Amino acid sequence: MAPANLIDGRAIAAQILGELTQRVAALKARGVQPGLAFVRVGEDPASKVYVGRKEKACAELEIFSETHVLPEATSEKNLLALLARLNADAQVHGILVQAPLPRQINQATVYSTVLPQKDVDGFHPVNVGKLMLGDAGGFQPCTPAGIRELLARSNVTMDGAEVVVLGRGNIVGKPMAAMLCQKEKHANATVTICHSATRDIKAHCRRADILIAAMGVAEFVKADMVKPGAVVVDVGVNRVNDPTAKSGSRLVGDVDFANVQPIAGKITPNPGGVGPMTIAMLMQNTVRAAELATSH
């Protein structure tokens, strides 16, 4: 029996995927199959796992997917040429370039090459700008959008809440803060972003009604940093050495789960919290991209 204060990301993601099956069926009735292209450069083991999970979700929803794998030494020019082909392919409604990219490739150039209307990752400057402006017409990054959905569907009050986001990255921290401070439903919060230069990070954390840890530091959030009853969302995925594990290591989040969980009002497990939601939101963005592309 799971503890009562766990936010079950798998169950909420399954709910969202269930809602999407009807939208996919409606598209199919019009002769449209949503299509998603994955692009992976090199053989990063984590990237392989992530793309594999996303491919599986596509298959379950009957979304057409294709994966393009380029060698580690690929030039930026070759990658951009592939993206130009995918941009022009009417069968492909969404394009996802899996990070990290090798050193010779400029990530910003890649993200701004994918057409904004196919940018289901929400990283194109146009979509980032729309998010900042509170324009719902763009695509929002999957992880923060998934976190907001987790909170909303777990009946967490965001209106007027003190939210502390640990981490200022472009994938989670910054877009998360931008989403939650908008004047709209399931937002309207007071948001503080903390990072490596923040003074007295513990004092900020202890003030939070909702604490979102996305800094990539293993078990950084300790029990004495959490206000009793606060909602804690753990985004981190960190590999730590563990001689007792078969592989010699194990994955942990950014939150010291065992010690924080008894104090938190609600908390996401890791795994089984934010991860499944990221994939569900990617599927939602892809279905929406297909709807938008074929609505005229």
Residue 193 falls inside a structural domain: yes
pLDDT at 1: 44
Residue 200 falls inside a structural domain: yes
pLDDT at 4: 77
Residue 164 falls inside a structural domain: yes
Kindly name the residue from 8, 118, 119, 121 that is annotated as catalytic: 121
pLDDT higher than threshold 70 for residue 38:
yes
pLDDT higher than threshold 60 for residue 180:
yes
* pLDDT, tens only, 183-232: 999 999 999 999 999 999 999 999 999 999 999 999 999 999 999 999 99
Residue 121 a catalytic site member: yes
Could you tell me if 79 and 192 lie in one domain? no
* pLDDT, tens only, 190-201: 999 999 999 999
Residue 134 falls inside a structural domain: no
Provide mean pLDDT across the span 271-293. Answer: 97
pTM: 0.96
Could you tell me if 154 and 57 lie in one domain? no
Q: Among 139-148, 189-198, 235-244, whose mean pLDDT is lowest?
A: 235-244
Could you tell me if 156 and 239 lie in one domain? yes
Residue 131 falls inside a structural domain: no
Residue 184 falls inside a structural domain: yes
Could you tell me if 81 and 188 lie in one domain? no
Q: Among 4-18, 108-122, 162-176, 239-253, whose mean pLDDT is lowest?
A: 239-253
Residue 3 falls inside a structural domain: no
Residue 77: give its domain's CATH number.
3.40.50.10860
pLDDT at 193: 98
Could you tell me if 146 and 111 lie in one domain? no
Could you tell me if 45 and 162 lie in one domain? no
pLDDT higher than threshold 60 for residue 2:
no
Q: How high is the mean pLDDT of the chain?
A: 96
Could you tell me if 148 and 95 lie in one domain? no
Could you tell me if 147 and 243 lie in one domain? yes
Residue 84 falls inside a structural domain: yes
* pLDDT, tens only, 254-269: 999 999 999 999 999 9
Could you tell me if 53 and 110 lie in one domain? yes
Kindly name the residue from 98, 140, 261, 284 that is annotated as catalytic: 98
Residue 98 a catalytic site member: yes
Residue 202 a catalytic site member: no
Could you tell me if 42 and 153 lie in one domain? no
* pLDDT, tens only, 53-71: 999 999 999 999 999 999 9
Number of domains in the chain: 2
Could you tell me if 258 and 202 lie in one domain? yes
Cα–Cα distance for residue pair 182/150, rounded to 1 Å: 17
Domain that holds residue 56: 34-115
For the chain, give the percent of residues with pLDDT over 90.
95
Could you tell me if 191 and 150 lie in one domain? yes
Q: Which of 73, 97, 115 is at the close of a domain?
A: 115
Residue with tokens 């939602």: 284
Residue 156: give its domain's CATH number.
3.40.50.720
Strands 238-241 and 162-166: unpaired
pLDDT at 295: 86
